[in-house]
Structure 1
Amino acid sequence: MRYDVPIHFQKVFQGEYNPQTGNYAEDEIEENTCFALVSETQTEMLKLVYGNLRQGSLTVQVQNHICEPFDRIRIGEKLYTVDFIRKLRTKQVLVLSEVQ
């Protein structure tokens, strides 16, 4: 198994309200990058997690446990949300679905 795909864990901080202009500042995004094994989610896992088949779902396996909180994951230019997390002894498996 090759852990060769860079994935970016994103933490989004909401922009603050400016009472003088009446607008909100732009959101700030903090990214932490690590390398992972990324593959298409198997049919059995799709049925287990979602109850039906769903397109745009990926299974990501990282070598260590993820300790820092995050809101979403970016792989390439696409954004994903986490639907299922499984912690193993030394690894962590995440099932992701694409944000529309």
Structure 2
Amino acid sequence: MRYDTKIYMRTVEPGVYDPVTGNYGVPKISEVEQMAAIQDTGEERMKLLYGKISQGSLTIQLQNHYDDPFDRIRIGEKLYTVDMSRRLRIKQIYVVSEVQE
């Protein structure tokens, strides 16, 4: 299995509230790069997880554990949310689905 795809663990800190205008400032986005092996999620696993076939679902495998908190995973220009996480002895597996922002 090749860990040849760059993924980014994204954390978003909301902007500061401005009471004069009633708006929030620009959020601060920070990303940590990881190398991962990515495959499509199989139909059987999708049926178990979602109860249906879900487009845009991927299975991501990291060679080591990732312990820092994060909000989303970015692969290329697409954002994904974690639906399931499994921590194995030396690896970490995420089943993710695409989100629109």
Do the structures match in fold with TM over 0.5?
yes
Query: In the alignment, what sits opposite 2:29?
Result: 29
CA distance in 2, matches of 1:41, 1:9: 19
CA positional deviation for 1:20:
3.1
Identity %: 56
CA distance in 1, matches of 2:86, 2:50: 15
Query: In the alignment, what sits opposite 2:77?
Result: 77
| TM-score, length-scaled by structure 1 | 0.96
Query: In the alignment, what sits opposite 1:12?
Result: 12
Taking only aligned residues, the RMSD between alpha carbons, in angstroms, comes to 0.8
CA shift digits 1:51-94 (9 cap, x unpaired):
11110000000011110000000000000000001111100110
CA shift digits 1:32-64 (9 cap, x unpaired):
110000111011111111111110000000011
Unaligned runs of 5+ residues in structure 1 are none
| TM-score, length-scaled by structure 2 | 0.95
Question: Would you say how many aligned residue pairs link Structure 1 and Structure 2?
Answer: 100
